[in-house]
Amino acid sequence: YLSDSSSPAALTSAFVARGAVKSFAARTDFYSAFRNKGLTSFPTIDVSNGVGFAAAWEGFKGTTFPALNFASATSLSSAWINSTSLTSVPAIQAPVCTNFTSAWNGNTALATIDPNANFGESATGVNFLNVFRACTALESLPAGLDMSRGDDFRTAFYNCPSLTTIGSGVLLGTANGTATVNFTQAFLDCTGLTELPAGLDLSQGSSFSSAFNGCASLTTIGTGVLLGTASSNVNFISAFRTSGLTALPAGLDMSQGSLFNATFRDCTSLATIGTGVLLGTANATATVNYADTFNGCTNLTALPAGLDLSQGSDFNNAFNGCTSLTTIGTGVLLGTASTSVNFLNAFRACT
């Protein structure tokens, strides 16, 4: 196939246009096959027997790409990485693919994803690490997008500042079944994201560390959003740190959390914790860490009646700098189930 020492880009493009790649119908390994060839278009060809497509079209120069059938593919890792002119992901079919790591990473013109694309829907344990990282023009996750088989979404949408919407019925790791999905930094620095839509199911998550950190426009967590509710000992470290949240909605269930370090730190617009919000209440060992959880939440006015933080063992700086906090409601429980609790600077500078 075409190697990095092949003919110049124009000649390579001519070969592709004349159907030279049709001879690849029986090929199984497309590793770097068309990498950095200056191709501005690609024909619809039979790649159904292909298994590995790592970096196959890295640096592709075209604005569109055909909806190829990757029927046998198990890896599309970095397949289109740094294809900075590509504007959309077509309805590719990759039903058994388990590796989409960095597939479209760095595609700075990529604005849309076809919701009919098949991202490993017949596979298990699909890896979406960095899949759309730094796709700075990506506007939305379209309604019905199915990434349900994923178990690794680390930095999947990191630094997608134009991403404003997660559509209805988007599935992220819902078919995992083992409740070990990793959402660490999944939406980190998505500064345009405005809400987590009602009913968004992230119940299979075990780590949300910095998942929505830096989402400055994120004001709303919708009704019925599920965050790690099927898991246990969930990591929420810095999950919503410096986000634009204005309230934790009534009934928000983060009960399976064990690490809430800096979860809402410096959420300066957060004014309200709703009735029935659950933060670590399902932890059976009374070792929940609330260090810096609400540190710097300068608009928070009250800890509502009945707020149950009884499982906490560490409240170091938990409410430090909450300069608008005037009220601790009736029946608030702070570390009452634990035997040795750290309250160092817990309410410091609550002026």
Question: Tens of pLDDT along 175-197?
Answer: 988 899 999 999 999 999 999 99
pLDDT at residue 33 above 70? yes
Q: How far is CA 208 from CA 72, 152, 204, 259, 341, in A?
A: 32, 11, 11, 10, 25
Nearest Cα residue to 182 out of 209, 221, 147, 145: 209
Can you tell me the distance from the alpha carbon of 137 to that of 153, in angstroms, rounded to the nearest whole number? 19
Please report which helix (H) or strand (E) contains residue 147, including its range: strand 146-147
For the stretch 268-294, pLDDT in tens is 999 999 999 999 999 888 999 999 999
**pLDDT for 6 beyond 50:** no
64-65-66-71 Cα dihedral, nearest 10 degrees: -150
Q: What integer pLDDT is reported at residue 16 of this predicted model?
A: 54
Residue appearing with tokens 């949408």 = 157
What is the spatial distance between Cα 211 and Cα 106, in angstroms, rounded to a whole number?
Answer: 19
Confidence class for position 64, pLDDT limits 50, 70, 90: very high
14: confidence class by pLDDT, cuts 50, 70, 90? low
Alpha carbon distance 43, 18 (integer Å) = 9
Q: What is the pLDDT of residue 1?
A: 43
Cβ atoms of 202 and 227 within 8 Å: the answer is yes
CA distance 227 to 205: 7
Arithmetic mean of pLDDT, 307-321: 98
pLDDT score at 140: 98
pLDDT at 326: 98
Q: How confident is the model at residue 22 (pLDDT cuts 50, 70, 90)?
A: low
Amino acid at 131: V
Q: Is the pLDDT of residue 203 over 70?
A: yes
Q: Which residues make Cβ contacts (< 8 Å) with residue 1, sequence separation at least 6?
A: 24, 27, 30, 33
Confidence of residue 7 (pLDDT cuts 50, 70, 90): very low
d(CA 295, CA 282) in angstroms, rounded, equals: 23
Do 19 and 42 meet the contact criterion of CB atoms below 8 Å apart?
Answer: no
pLDDT one-digit tens code per residue, 130-175: 999 999 999 999 999 999 999 999 999 999 999 999 999 999 999 9
CA distance linking residue 55 with residue 12, whole number of Å: 17
What integer is the mean pLDDT of 261-273?
Answer: 98
**Cβ–Cβ under 8 Å, residues 336 and 306:** no
Question: Which two three-digit tokens encode residue 243?
Answer: 């986000």
Distance (Å, whole) CA 105 – CA 303: 42
pTM for this prediction: 0.93
Specify the pLDDT at position 27.
82
**pLDDT digit string, tens, across residues 115-126:** 999 999 999 999
Query: What does pLDDT average to over the chain?
Result: 94
DSSP state of 339: S
The answer to whether the beta carbons of residues 264 and 237 sit under 8 Å apart is no
DSSP 251-300: T-EETTEEE-TTTTTT-TT--EE-TT-EESTT-SSS-EE-TTTTTT-TT-
Q: Which residue has the tokens 């990757």?
A: 70
